[in-house]
Amino acid sequence: MAPIAVGSVIPDGTLAYLDDDNKPQTVSIHSLAAAKKVIIFGVPGAFTPTCSLKHVPGFIERAEELKGKGVDEIICISVNDPFVMNSWAKTFPENKHVKFLADGAAKYTNALGLELDLSDKGLGVRSKRFALLVEDLKVKVANVESGGEFTISSAEEIIKAL
């Protein structure tokens, strides 16, 4: 499948998270994004160096600025289970706005056409690193990285686009 592109409508899909009682729950991406301006950013894996030290912290640090520019939701997706995503989210106690959602079987990542097969590195199928700016389900910006790069999917690059 071709990767999601500017002008495309994001597919609906179900992602998972843990509620306040640590019980797995699911949420439709369309329920979070319909009639809203949202950022959906994907990372290859929770607890991995670039994701944990650069990508996620950038969105957490710039969340107030993004909200001030009209962003309703900031969603981080990774091909991990909701228990891992919940544990990872707890490593960012300063986070008030970024939702950490799990795509355990990479179904949504595949629907976006953004899967990355890292089986040769022992990691299995993951997500490419990306950041999408979506308005009322339509992609306005699609910054998808090549390989292991981190050059165009940062919070700063999305802010430039706003």
CA separation (Å) from 122 to 56, 63, 127? 23, 33, 14
Domain boundaries, the chain: 8-161
Q: Rounded mean pLDDT of 86-96?
A: 97
At residue 143, the 3 state secondary structure works out as strand
Rounded CA-CA distance 156/122 in Å is 31
pLDDT above 80: residue 124: no
Under CATH, what is the fold of the domain 8-161?
A: Glutaredoxin (3.40.30)
Residue 51: active-site member: yes
Of all residues in the chain, the percent with pLDDT exceeding 70 is 99
pLDDT of residue 95: 97
Give the number of other Cβ atoms within 10 Å of residue 52's Cβ: 16
pLDDT digits (tens, 9 = 90+) for 11-65: 999 999 999 999 999 999 999 999 999 999 999 989 988 889 899 999 999 999 9
pLDDT above 70: residue 1: no
Mean pLDDT, the chain, rounded, equals 94
State which H helix or E strand residue 132 sits in: strand 130-135
Q: Model-level pTM?
A: 0.95
Among candidate residues 29, 39, 40, 51, the one labeled active-site is 51
**DSSP-derived secondary structure for 34-57:** TTSEEEEEEES-TT-HHIIIIIHH
Which of 29-33, 65-69, 126-130 has the least mean pLDDT? 126-130
